[in-house]
């Protein structure tokens, strides 16, 4: 690429790879695809794409997310840039990884066939191409940290959710059991959720109350200098 001020420097392909997390069957899943192009065509890969001329990194990631999920406004965060010389067997590519949290309830299953994509449990991932396994590992580390510090976990749900489901998700992210009473006590103490009147009866006869995250209460919460912590 010719640029006016930096004419003599090498240019590189820049890609984005997305670690797309979803929650299903009490397990954390990642959306993977069979790589559609050579080299390593057919191997398991993250969802990715090249950055284009008039796109920012974030826009490139949003483009990839939209292409493979057809959802807009997905929560997304940069993980890291990966720049080893031979990280991509197809050429010199610098890749920036993003993780994203999607609502699996509203996921269009026809997309799966179109892109040869599958939701795979994080604890039994297949081998991935290039350095994608490292990307997933880094994304998980970051996700765990962020979830404990900021109310991003609610992006896994379509507005309302039950406390048992929230706890299941939390346990799936951290891969450890947590105490029901302590969990609920902590959440109750923060006062950032609204309890609904209706219940989800799909997993018990008694039914579990729905809750919704209340952004306004959360703002008040932070203004009082209190710290979110799960």
Partner DNA sequence: ACAAAAGTGTTCACACTACACCCATGG
Partner DNA sequence: CCATGGGTGTAGTGTGAACACTTTTGT
CB burial of 9-20 (b: ≥16 within 10 Å; e: otherwise) equals eeeeebbbbbbb
- Can residue 190 be called a binding residue for its own copies (CB under 8 A)? no
- Distance between CA atoms of 49 and 61, rounded to whole angstroms? 8
- Can residue 205 be called a binding residue for DNA (CB under 7 A)? yes
184 binds, among DNA, its own copies, none (CB under 5 to 8 A by kind): DNA
Site residues for DNA, 77-116, by CB under 7 A, read: none
Nearer Cβ to DNA, position 34 or 195?
Answer: 195
- Can residue 84 be called a binding residue for its own copies (CB under 8 A)? yes
- Can residue 204 be called a binding residue for DNA (CB under 7 A)? yes
Q: Which of 83, 106, 188, 194 binds its own copies (CB under 8 A)?
A: 83
Residue 207 phi, psi dihedral angles, 5° rounding: 85, 145
Least distance CB 110 / DNA (angstroms): 31
Residue 111 phi, psi dihedral angles, 5° rounding: -65, -35
DSSP symbols for 96-134:
EEEEEE--GGG--THHHHHHTEEEEEGGG----STTHHH
- Distance between CA atoms of 175 and 190, rounded to whole angstroms? 24
3-state secondary structure of 215: helix
- Distance between CA atoms of 135 and 20, rounded to whole angstroms? 11
164 binds, among DNA, its own copies, none (CB under 5 to 8 A by kind): DNA
Residue 125 phi, psi dihedral angles, 5° rounding: -75, 145
Nearer Cβ to its own copies, position 58 or 150?
Answer: 58
- Can residue 99 be called a binding residue for its own copies (CB under 8 A)? no
- Can residue 9 be called a binding residue for its own copies (CB under 8 A)? yes
- Distance between CA atoms of 60 and 51, rounded to whole angstroms? 5
Least distance CB 181 / DNA (angstroms): 3
Nearer Cβ to its own copies, position 142 or 187?
Answer: 142
163 binds, among its own copies, DNA, none (CB under 5 to 8 A by kind): DNA
Q: Which spans of this chain sit near its own copies (rule: CB under 8 A)? A: 1, 3-6, 9-14, 37-39, 50-58, 60, 78, 80-85, 90-94, 96
Q: Which spans of this chain sit near DNA (rule: CB under 7 A)? A: 162-164, 179-182, 184-186, 199, 201, 203-209, 229
């Amino acid at each position: 690429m010719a640029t006016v001020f930096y004419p003599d420097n090498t240019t590189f392909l820049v890609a984005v790879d997305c670690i797309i997390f979803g929650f299903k069957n009490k397990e954390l899943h990642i959306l993977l695809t069979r790589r559609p192009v050579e080299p390593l065509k057919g191997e398991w890969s993250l969802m990715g794409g090249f950055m284009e001329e008039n796109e920012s990194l974030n826009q490139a990631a949003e483009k990839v997310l939209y292409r493979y999920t057809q959802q807009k406004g997905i929560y997304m965060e940069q993980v890291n840039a990966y720049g080893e010389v031979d990280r991509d067997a197809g050429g010199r590519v610098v890749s920036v990884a993003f993780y994203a949290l999607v609502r699996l309830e509203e996921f269009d299953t026809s997309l799966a066939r179109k892109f040869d994509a599958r939701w795979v449990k994080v604890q039994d991932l297949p081998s991935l191409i290039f350095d994608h396994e490292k990307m997933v590992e880094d994304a998980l580390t970051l996700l765990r940290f962020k979830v404990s510090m900021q109310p991003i976990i609610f992006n896994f749900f379509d507005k309302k959710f039950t406390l048992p489901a929230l706890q299941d998700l939390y346990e799936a992210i951290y891969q450890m059991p947590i105490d029901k009473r302590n969990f609920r006590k902590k959440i109750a103490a923060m006062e950032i959720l609204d309890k609904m009147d209706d219940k989800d009866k799909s997993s018990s006869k008694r039914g579990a109350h729905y809750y919704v995250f209340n952004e306004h209460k959360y703002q008040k919460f932070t203004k009082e200098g209190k710290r979110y912590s799960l």
